């Protein structure tokens, strides 16, 4: 191990090679509009697994596969018994997915190994690239299945018995593509996941590297508002019990609560169904969703209390009933401070414009963080669009993320 | 004609007889839940026309029928050449209609004639009961077809060629039930329409008689709001272009505008469709309706301008586009001041609690008012519910309305 090689100017990944591997992988399930349709545990997923594990073997890795189909490519270190420093993500896609979501984290890890091979570097700790099964959760639920089983968030047997729309179980699908492994899941010293941001912040702020401090906790509510249907003509304003008007005030309140709370607060009403939904009938019933997110559990609790108070006040003011049922709850996840510092200092050393931010969406890293120190590196994606065939990213930004990953991993892998 | 008989204490309608005629008519198309389903120009409508015209003939009327099927029962006066004072409404119903909507106005007119017969009174002007074809507009559009043709709002040929869902035309349906008449439509001296309120005001104010000053003008708008779909997690509040949030603010603005304008102002968002309508996607598109009503054209214009200004402001503030398309427009209709005064003084003479109000919905009277002085008398209906099988009214209130109709008609019919 030669210290000068670890400076950014002396050791860098190959932008062209990284882009070429992304574009080659993207041919498996390529859609006419430039996206990828490669659902978990399909024949296309099997082809992608074979392609990428072939590349990883060629890069000097041994391959392991566990019972939920997670793949672990291990590159030996000078201390073989030390736990590996891992990179990775997933290679399944949404039904109308893009070329970068998940795939970038895996192939950036491959690119790091190839770069080290070219430079003749062997790290103290082994390195690993993990490919987590079924992150997207579109064919089989729950989402983030492979990393969730790895972390103990879901039982293996529970996941193996989940079925798709055709009645095929996860166990059957794993067997059908030869992805039902018997290897134990390795313990990692640390896990780095590079990913496109899937949001607009970096592009808007003209940053290249996002140092992901945390993944937001989430609370999902189903709301039912019951008022009284009435004819829009004969019913004067003072006698109305308008469920949609109460819903409108609640929608405004959710935004205000998100705007006035700290810690990356977000609040969204994405779904709203009006009944009877006729232009000359005052709506008697509304069903709506509320999605609250925050990086800190205490602030998320405060936002929840504020929404509940607003709902109670609006129910009184509008003569309606409002019920909120919490249907899902994900705790915030804070990533490892020392790993974040390493990512940040590497970005600074390269001169990449960077910023701290939070991940608003779920990622495999959120589950893996339950087992080992974990951090994420974000790079911009065009207009923040993801889960879409037109998902796009700048090769220079992808290269920058791989370089930051390289040096953050190298630094970690030298630690005792 | 004996003057003392015209005082309320000396001449009054029969509550029992009125109720019995309403309940007998309600058997034609009776529904299990106590309502009526008797669509325009069906066999059931033909049976109802035969029943009611039979009663009117028995009460001494001659019957006329015009080309759109409107029925006119004329009771001679002492001056046969004078134009008649008319009463009336419609006897077709909604698909899940009630026993009173429309039917009360016709049978209250019948009850007035029967009461005069019992008292041996012949008025100076002839009296008439009009039964307007297809007020509800559920089988054939437009609504208020018969009175609209009478008033010249619609062309006869246009209406005769309208078809129902089975392709049957109005002309065919009229011929099938023998309702295609050849009589000219008579000109009236005045037209009184008694009707259940179909709203909650009288019940809420503990009034028995509503003196209907006007029918509200209406403006209907289709609104399209275009923002940007985005994932609810990764997209921070400041970068959102949330179409539903803008729609919520606009819904609140419509209510505020209705609450702060005079002249029976009403504003309703009854229909709202969210796209993509997924709990974790910021909505990129909303379609919604806006229904504005007011008794004065100038105030309705001011409300429209206020809504347009709110939409323009919200579009700027939320980074969305908002388009408003006016899809329908009905002018306000002011009823005849001297007829209203007669209704009011009669109600006072009887000691019936009464109030002035506006009709928020359309009625045949709105079209008839284009041809002669017109006024409406409202009586309460239970909880304001109409266009519903559970529509209900208090026999005492129906009786009060018939008494007011009786004396208001008598006073008018004695005029030169």
Bridge partners of residue B87, in order along the sequence: B129, B192
Tell me the CA distances in angstroms from B25 to B53, B55, B56, B363, one per residue in order.
12, 11, 13, 20
Q: Which domains, from first to last, does chain A contain? A: 3-215+332-413 (3.40.630.10), 217-330 (3.30.70.360)
Confirm whether pTM is higher than 0.80. yes
Distance from CA of A409 to the nearest CA of B (A): 25
Query: For residue range A287-339, what is the model confidence (pLDDT) as tens digits?
Result: 999 999 999 999 999 999 999 999 999 999 999 999 999 999 999 999 999 99
Contact A384 B235 (CB under 8 A): yes
What size, in residues, is chain A? 416
Query: For residue range A149-159, what is the model confidence (pLDDT) as tens digits?
Result: 999 999 999 99
pLDDT of B10: 79
Bridge partners of residue B272, in order along the sequence: B288
Contact A199 B293 (CB under 8 A): no
The residue among A159, A139, A307, A162 whose CA lies nearest residue A220 is A307
pLDDT of B7: 62
Across chain B, what does the average pLDDT equal?
A: 96
Q: What is the mean pLDDT of residues A266-279?
A: 96
pLDDT of B225: 98
| Buried residues in B290-299 as b, exposed as e (16+ CB within 10 A) | bbbbbbbeeb
Contact B247 A245 (CB under 8 A): no
Calpha distance B11→A368 (Å, rounded): 89
Please, where are the H alpha helices in B332-394?
Answer: 337-350, 364-368
* For residue B115, pLDDT beyond 80: yes
Q: What is the mean pLDDT of residues B96-118?
A: 97
At A103, is the pLDDT very low, low, confident or very high (cuts 50, 70, 90)? very high
Q: What is the mean pLDDT of residues A74-93?
A: 97
Q: Which of residues B415 and B369 earns the better pLDDT score?
A: B369
Calpha distance A320→A312 (Å, rounded): 10
The residue among B277, B116, B107 whose CA lies nearest residue B194 is B107
Query: For residue range B23-74, what is the model confidence (pLDDT) as tens digits?
Result: 999 999 999 999 999 999 999 999 999 999 999 999 999 999 999 999 999 9
Calpha distance A335→A194 (Å, rounded): 13
State the sign of the Cα–Cα–Cα–Cα dihedral A240, A241, A243, A246.
positive
pLDDT of B37: 97
Residue written as token pair 């930004």: A397
* For residue B4, pLDDT beyond 50: no
At B8, is the pLDDT very low, low, confident or very high (cuts 50, 70, 90)? low
Query: For residue range B340-390, what is the model confidence (pLDDT) as tens digits?
Result: 999 999 999 999 999 999 999 999 999 999 999 999 999 999 999 898 899
The residue among A107, A127, A88 whose CA lies nearest residue A20 is A107
Residues B142 and B148: beta-carbon distance below 8 Å: yes
Q: What is the mean pLDDT of residues A41-55?
A: 98
Contact B199 A236 (CB under 8 A): yes
Q: What is the mean pLDDT of residues A64-77?
A: 98
* For residue A94, pLDDT beyond 50: yes
Q: What is the mean pLDDT of residues A270-293?
A: 96
* For residue A146, pLDDT beyond 60: yes
Contact A232 B204 (CB under 8 A): no
Name the residue in chain A with its Cα closest to that of B205. A239
Distance from CA of A54 to the nearest CA of B (A): 33
The distance of Cα A108 from the centroid of its chain, to the nearest Å, equals: 16
Name the residue in chain A with its Cα closest to that of B387. A231
At A344, is the pLDDT very low, low, confident or very high (cuts 50, 70, 90)? very high
Instruction: Quote ipTM for the complex.
Output: 0.88
Contact A360 B269 (CB under 8 A): no
pLDDT of A80: 87
Angle between helices B15-26 and B395-413 (to 10 degrees): 110
Q: What is the mean pLDDT of residues B178-206?
A: 97
Chain B hits for A259, CB-CB cut-off 8 Å, are 237
Distance from CA of B221 to the nearest CA of A (A): 9
Contact A244 B272 (CB under 8 A): yes
Helix, strand counts (H, E) of chain A = 12, 16
Which of B234, B286, B332 to substitute to test the interface with A, most A CBs within 10 Å?
A: B234
pLDDT of B254: 98
Q: Residue A25 gets which letter from DSSP?
A: H
Which of A212, A214, A234, A320 to substitute to test the interface with B, most B CBs within 10 Å?
A: A234
Distance from CA of B183 to the nearest CA of A (A): 35
What percentage of chain B exceeds 90 in pLDDT? Answer: 94
* For residue A9, pLDDT beyond 70: no
Which of B195, B268, B357, B384 to substitute to test the interface with A, most A CBs within 10 Å?
A: B268
Q: What is the mean pLDDT of residues B297-306?
A: 98
Q: Residue B234 gets which letter from DSSP?
A: T
* For residue A388, pLDDT beyond 80: yes
Contact B199 A230 (CB under 8 A): yes
CA torsion, points A361, A367, A371, A375, in degrees to nearest 10?
-20
What percentage of chain A exceeds 90 in pLDDT? Answer: 94
Contact B232 A360 (CB under 8 A): yes
pLDDT of B80: 87
Residues A198 and A101: beta-carbon distance below 8 Å: yes
At A1, is the pLDDT very low, low, confident or very high (cuts 50, 70, 90)? very low
Those residues whose C-beta lies under 8 Å from the C-beta of residue B395, and which sit 6 or more positions away, are B15, B18, B19
Name the residue in chain B with its Cα closest to that of A221. B279
pLDDT of A7: 62
């Amino acid at each position: 191990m030669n210290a000068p090689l670890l400076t950014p100017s002396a050791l860098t990944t190959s932008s062209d090679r990284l882009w070429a591997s992304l574009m080659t992988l993207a041919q498996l399930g390529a859609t006419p509009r430039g996206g990828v349709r490669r659902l978990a545990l399909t024949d296309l997923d099997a082809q992608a697994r074979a392609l990428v594990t072939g590349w990883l073997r060629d890069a000097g890795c041994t391959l392991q596969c566990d019972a939920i189909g997670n793949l672990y490519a291990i590159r030996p270190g000078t201390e073989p018994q030390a736990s590996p420093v891992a990179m990775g993500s997933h290679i399944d896609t949404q039904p109308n997915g893009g070329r970068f979501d998940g795939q970038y984290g895996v192939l950036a890890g491959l690119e790091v190994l190839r770069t080290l091979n070219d430079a003749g570097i062997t790290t103290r700790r082994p390195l690993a690239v993990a490919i987590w099964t079924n992150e997207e959760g579109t064919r089989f639920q729950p989402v983030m299945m492979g990393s969730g089983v790895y972390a103990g968030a879901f039982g293996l047997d529970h996941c193996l018995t989940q079925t798709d729309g055709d009645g095929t179980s996860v166990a059957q699908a794993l067997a059908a593509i030869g992805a039902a492994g018997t290897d134990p899941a390795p313990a990692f010293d640390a896990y780095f996941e590079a990913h496109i941001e899937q949001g607009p912040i970096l592009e808007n702020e003209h940053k290249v590297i996002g140092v992901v401090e945390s993944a937001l906790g989430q609370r999902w509510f189903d709301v039912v508002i019951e008022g009284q249907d009435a004819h829009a003509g004969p019913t004067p304003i003072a006698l109305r019990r308008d469920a949609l008007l109460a819903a409108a005030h609640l929608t405004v309140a959710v935004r205000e609560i998100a705007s006035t709370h700290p810690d990356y607060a977000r609040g969204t009403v994405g779904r709203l169904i009006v009944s009877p939904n006729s232009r000359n009938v005052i709506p008697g019933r509304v069903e709506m969703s509320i999605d609250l997110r925050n990086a800190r559990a205490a602030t998320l609790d405060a936002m929840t209390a504020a929404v509940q108070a607003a709902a109670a006040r609006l129910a009184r003011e509008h003569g309606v009933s409002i019920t909120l049922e919490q249907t899902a709850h994900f705790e915030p996840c804070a990533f490892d401070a020392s790993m974040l510092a390493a990512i940040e200092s590497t970005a600074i050393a390269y001169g990449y414009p960077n910023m701290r931010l939070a991940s608003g969406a779920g990622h495999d890293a959120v589950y893996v963080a339950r087992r080992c120190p974990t951090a994420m590196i974000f790079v911009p994606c065009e207009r923040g669009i993801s889960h879409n065939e037109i998902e796009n990213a700048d090769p220079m930004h992808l290269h920058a993320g791989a370089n930051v990953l390289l040096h953050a991993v190298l630094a970690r892998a030298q630690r005792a």
